[in-house]
Amino acid sequence: MIHIRFISADHTVQDLQAAPGQSLMKAATEANIRGIEGDCGGTLTCATCHVIVDPVWAKQLPPPVADETDMLDFAASPVEPDSRLCCQIQLTPDLDGLVVRLPAAQH
Ligand code: FES
């Protein structure tokens, strides 16, 4: 299992254990992680799965495709250098320990 830590804007910590082979958005919504909406189901049309990846981990992720970067322009909260749409982050065993921050709002 892959351990992921979500840190909310108010510093609340939510931990998740998820199986590899799914997106971070899917794993988070199925586990009812507060602060991840995923309204479009992962089709890159909503930007409600915005996360800010811890800088140490951000370097280990494949870079975002242009469509992801474009959709981040529609995020409800300010985008930071390590902002990602977590429906585009595929969970792999090497992401065990991943830490992401949640924006103040997704809508
Ligand atoms: Fe809609 Fe990620 S779930 S863009």
- Domain segments of the chain: what residues? 2-101
- Over the Cα atoms of the chain, what is R_g? 12
What is the mean pLDDT of the segment spanning 52-57? Answer: 97
Best residue among 26, 44, 106 to mutate for probing ligand 1's pocket (most ligand atoms within 8 Å of CB) is 44
Tokens (6 digits) for 54 = 């811890």
The pLDDT value given to residue 79? 98
Closest CA to 47 of 18, 22, 76: 76
The pLDDT value given to residue 37? 98
What is the mean pLDDT of the segment spanning 39-50? Answer: 98
Average pLDDT along the chain: 98
Going by pLDDT thresholds of 50, 70 and 90, the confidence category of residue 105 is very high
Find the 92 Cα to ligand 1 centroid distance in Å: 19
Best residue among 30, 85, 107 to mutate for probing ligand 1's pocket (most ligand atoms within 8 Å of CB) is 85
The CATH class of the 2-101 domain is: alpha beta
Whether the Cβ atoms of residue 76 and residue 107 lie closer than 8 Å to each other: yes
Question: Ligand 1 in contact with 85 (CB < 6 A)?
Answer: yes
What is the mean pLDDT of the segment spanning 81-105? Answer: 98
The β-bridge relationship of strands 2-7 and 98-101 is: parallel
The pLDDT value given to residue 56? 95
Going by pLDDT thresholds of 50, 70 and 90, the confidence category of residue 61 is very high
